[in-house]
Structure 1
Amino acid sequence: MLNGWQGWFGTFTGVVVITVVVLPLAALAAWALARRRRAAGATPGWAWQRSLAEVGIVYGTVPWVWMILLPGSQAGAVPARVSLVPLRDLFTILTHDGAAAATVQIVGNLLVFAALGFFAPLRFTALASVPRILALAAGCSVLVEAAQYVLRLDRVSSVDDVLLNAAGAGLAALASHHWWRATARASSDRPR
């Protein structure tokens, strides 16, 4: 099923398998970072929060971006396509491919930068607000969509993807709000 490099690195299945296989390495990286911070004198809670947030951002975002940048079957052969009318692509998918395909498209796009939205405010106090996370995720999404266009990957560069990617990051930031608000308060209470 995953024969050769293309099967491992050039298919959705390969990316998912690699992501699962790398999970123990991600856990080990978080442990090593926390241990290093503890050895440098950090408190255990702070060391673990920072380390988990850093690893979480990378581990939870890179596979999604990797999948987005996988070339389609006509990559390089068809002209790059852009859709700048909000909700047009989602409506087209819904009417042509059905509700299941539209649901997969929506959920997938909501998850692309969800880890970034969840963990970035925990790691970077400057990002501890939903509008900042929305702006960061929208900026990252625009970069990914531009890469799809420039590389002619047989994908549509769509404003719908940007909106859904940013919304997913914003919802994830709200889900972690309790933790990053507490961290922001603790940081502001520390003497400088």
Structure 2
Amino acid sequence: MRKLITGMKISLDGKMEGPEGYADWVDAWSEEYGLMPQIDACLLGSAMYAGYERYWTAIQNEPDKPLPMTGKLPTPAELEWARFAEQTPHYVLSNTMTSALWPKTRFVRTFDDIAALKQQPGKDIYLMGGAQLAASLIDAGLADELRLIVYPLLAGDGKALFGAIQNRRGLELRKVEQLMDGRVSLVYGIG
């Protein structure tokens, strides 16, 4: 069975967004969890998908221009993810969406659809978010692994990654790695 692996970038106090509605402490949105070799599909919630599609399409269309959302040039790792994302099926959990710009985007309607997706042959699935979807899939027992990159700051007000978790879950620490700039990568199995 395929694993559903979620990866999130958070502050030390567990926030995935600051009070402005985004993680202003994250310099680049490249995939830093080491997932690309082991995944062949991505899963997102409908609220996150529109901004995700817009961000990565901008990089795909004009890789040498500053991004309208950040004013910065894409990093080499962001360029790599943009190429990967363009070729990788993306599943969006939505009851209302029926179309997307990316031709490899498909829609799933229920958690049963996600469970069925995990049963299909293939590599693992990257659960990109958002926080509510990740929490709901952890509560439903459908998420198998949690990969976090923890930034060395206390964000204070903002959206907590685990604020919507309803059920207590045990986690099994699988890997710890110190990254540049005081960040830490943590990998947990979800029990």
| Normalised-by-shorter TM-score class | under 0.3
Structure having the larger proportion of residues in strand: 2
* Bigger radius of gyration: 1
